[in-house]
Structure 1
Amino acid sequence: MPDTSPMPIRERTRRLAQTELTSVAQDLFVAQGYDGTTVDQIAAAAGMSKRTFFRYFPSKDDLVIGKYDLFGDRMAEALDARPAEEPVWESLRRVFDITLDYVQDDHQRARNDAMEEIVRSTPQLYARYLEKMERIQQLLIGRVAARLDTRDDDPADPRPGAIVGAAFACMQAARHAWFASDRTEPFGSCLDAAMSTVSVGNAD
């Protein structure tokens, strides 16, 4: 079963610092390019020393990719917080609510789009991005398996992976549809429409 115990204060503080560093760095990357931004500049903009920066991220690459770890942890925690009796598909839909700010806020979306372009155009970053996306899905698959009472001795049960994979496919389809509509509809409505078209069988 997933660990649902409260997060230690030290870990919460660490995550807040990592989130702030990531935000500061992303603004610099957008303004002056990934290659044109140094760790010294990021640390200075965040009001810390270079040595302190390395306490939170081993490298500039890790800072870029580390946001996907933070995002995955947020999604896992959001799923843990959903009522146990709630259908899994509905829980995943509610978990995806944490993505709304990333696409509906103009500043956040512009920065996010710029960072995605940096990641996709930088081979070493893109390879690690794919690994992180796999990790995010694995975090959720384990939790969905527990909700479905998948036996520990039956790791071949395809349902958890199929359900999580379908949910992520719906999120991508909703994003494409939202952009195609020139963002005239709330992204949440596009997500509702995408996820309502999929039948997930015994996902309750």
Structure 2
Amino acid sequence: MRISEIAERLFLARGYDETTVEDIANEAGISERTFFRYFATKDEVLFGRFETELQGLVEAIRARPAGEAPWTSLQHALDATFDELDERAAEERATLFRQIIDSSPHLLAGHLARIELFQRTLADALLERWQADHGDDAASEPDARLVLRALVSGFLAVVNEVTLSSEDQPIAVRRTIIAAALDAVRPAQADLGGAR
């Protein structure tokens, strides 16, 4: 974690493109070789936590009860993620992350690609659950994959919009707003939608 925090501070102060691996290693008091034991690239320093958070959400979805509606599973997985956050550290990290991403077209492109991967991974986890609940015939159901990807996309769009519009609010307040917004747009269809 320390290397990531040092790198993020340098990215913000000097700019991502201007900060070298050598700069990060020197500031962290390590060799470049040691840096590369932990991270393959500078991008990985910045996006490594993203990968960890994605895996946590996927695991939370997989742990939900069989037969639960996908939208409900997404809400509970999000709640579990929020429950594990150190609110102050998460707010500071999110602000810093946005500032760094906004400073580099390269990073913004990488971030958008990771969001796409994030959406597909969550939809695939939901599809696995849906297929397990609906038997072997469900494996060939093309509409299920499409609907679940759209569902995840809509879910994350709500979370993103609320987060951006309530940045000045503490996470506890944002959680309440997110929950209300997600309930307001919950799908009506029972099977792949939002039946409780």
| Aligned residue in 2 for 1:197 | 184
> In structure 2, what is the Cα distance between the partners aligned to 1:103 and 1:176?
19
Residue 199 of structure 1 aligns with an amino acid whose one-letter code is: R
Q: Which residue of 1 aligns with 2:53?
A: 71
State the secondary structure of the residue aligned to 2:40: coil
Q: Counterparts of 1:31 and 1:93 in 2: how far apart (Å)?
A: 36
* Kept in 2: contact 1:34–1:118 (CA 8 A): yes
User: 1:189 & 1:52 partners in 2: Cα distance?
Assistant: 43
The match for 2:160 is 172
Identity of aligned residues (%): 30
**Residue 111 to residue 199, structure 1, CA distance change in 2 (3 Å):** closer
**2:142 is equivalent to residue 160 of structure 1:** no
Cα separation, 2, equivalents of 1:56 and 1:104 = 26
Give the AA of the match of 2:181.
Answer: A
Which of 177, 184, 187 is residue 174 of structure 2 equivalent to? 187
Residue 193 of structure 1: CA displacement? 0.6
Distance 1:111 1:146 in 2: 32
Q: Pick the aligned partner of 1:111 from 75, 87, 93.
A: 93
The offset of 1:178, in angstroms, is 2.2
Q: CA deviation at 1:169?
A: 1.4
The AA in structure 2 aligned to 1:167 is: F
Amino acid at match of 2:123: I
Q: CA deviation at 1:26?
A: 1.9
Does structure 2 retain, via aligned residues, the 8 Å contact 1:102–1:109?
Answer: no
Unaligned stretches of 5+ in structure 1? 1-18
Aligned to 1:15: none
SS in 1 for 2:37: helix
Q: Note the C-alpha offset of 1:145.
A: 1.2
Aligned partners of 2:70 and 2:126 also within 8 Å: yes
Name the CA shift for 1:186/1:148 in 2 (closer, same or farther; >3 Å).
Answer: same
Aligned length: 183
Cα RMSD between the aligned structures? 2.8
Partners of 2:8 and 2:100 within 8 A in 1: no
Q: TM-score, normalised by structure 2?
A: 0.77
User: 2:24 pairs with 38, 42, 67, which one?
Assistant: 42
Counterpart mapping for 1:26-105 below 5 A:
26-46=8-28, 48-97=30-79, 98-99=81-82, 104-105=87-88
Give deviations 1:79-122, integer Å, cap 9, x for gaps: 122222433222211222325777942x4323322321221331
Q: Which residue is 1:4 aligned to?
A: none
